[in-house]
Chains A and B, each alone.
Chain A
């Protein structure tokens, strides 16, 4: 019992340390969350995303239908992503980047890089 309690305390300490480490870099954590776009029900979610320059944005297809991510300005173009496949692109320069799905052109989204 004593041994088990000790282990639990150690685990809690580890978690606390990790928590502190994460909290000391809140910007990168937020940017990473913001760089996730899910494709579901023929929509990009969220439709508009704002990230810091240097962020890699990742799109994940959660539909049974393939989708693509194509930049209006021909900056990037994924191949067809089947279910659960992903595409990533790193945004280095500030600006507004519109994108669409070439298979379903009604699907549109925007990345704003600050």
Chain B
């Protein structure tokens, strides 16, 4: 395919996305992940060619099964998101899904989500569950499909391209009235996992609920995340990726960059606006601008990652 044709097909894919939302692309630059606009990256605007090799794409909060006014067709917006990722000039090595794969933890929702995510050209998929994925009465639907990587614990780690990835679960042990919880067992496992690891190893941590407190009244945080951060502080490059709040919120604290991703399904209000984090109904032409994916690129060296966010329009 000629470059012109490729560009054309990518533009078409982006045009399709005018109805929905995409993910986030990450580039680690100078040890700090920098978010970039994925739509801009796919549109070959100046500067994007210097992004480097795409390391991974983060997809979040696909909420398959949701059918309310805020987005009556979440299947279509996920399909558009997958098209955006598949049309990237160079495919990412892996895909991360930061939870709320389904809306109601129903078997049919998980089956459809798996089938749809199977349409990604990048086949290596790593997941963590959201609270919507563990809301079945027996809490088994997620683990029967995605539990293998963690031996059904929900947390695990792996290495890729010199980057150490840590997947955590913070949606199972809720203290009533409180925030998400990692728990003593998981924190002890993280300590063992990081022991003896060089401080120059770039670390990517991902979990569904934010690993810092964004808004306590809506449970947008993790009660014992400070104990995790104490363990991560010695590393030169740490990127913490979450979903849950359906909008981008970022913070940099020392060497730790925090970033929450957009949903591919529907936006949520800004913290504190309204009675709770209900699906936010926006005009149809606004919706695609509020959905998206995040991508991470490696620039020259693994400790140099850049982060970009793309919307469906």
Contacts and interface: CB of A to CB of B under 8 A. Distances in A.
Interface of A: 41-43, 63-66, 68, 72, 77-80, 82-83, 98, 100, 102-106, 108
B135 A80 contact: yes
A61 to B, nearest CB: 11
Contacts, number: 69
Given A103-B135, A104-B276, A108-B177, 10 more contacts: A42-B278, A43-B275, A63-B278, A64-B70, A100-B174, A102-B174, A103-B132, A104-B219, A105-B174, A105-B178
Interface residues of B, number: 28
B135 A65 contact: no
B61 interface: no
Nearest to A106: B219
Per DSSP, chain B at the interface is loop
23 contacts: A41-B275, A42-B278, A63-B276, A63-B278, A64-B68, A65-B278, A66-B132, A78-B137, A79-B136, A82-B104, A98-B176, A100-B176, A100-B177, A102-B174, A103-B135, A105-B177, A105-B180, A105-B219, A106-B178, A106-B217, A106-B218, A106-B219, A108-B176
Contacts of A83: 68
B305 interface: no
The 7 closest A-B pairs by CB, nearest first: A42-B276, A105-B174, A80-B135, A41-B275, A80-B104, A100-B176, A79-B137
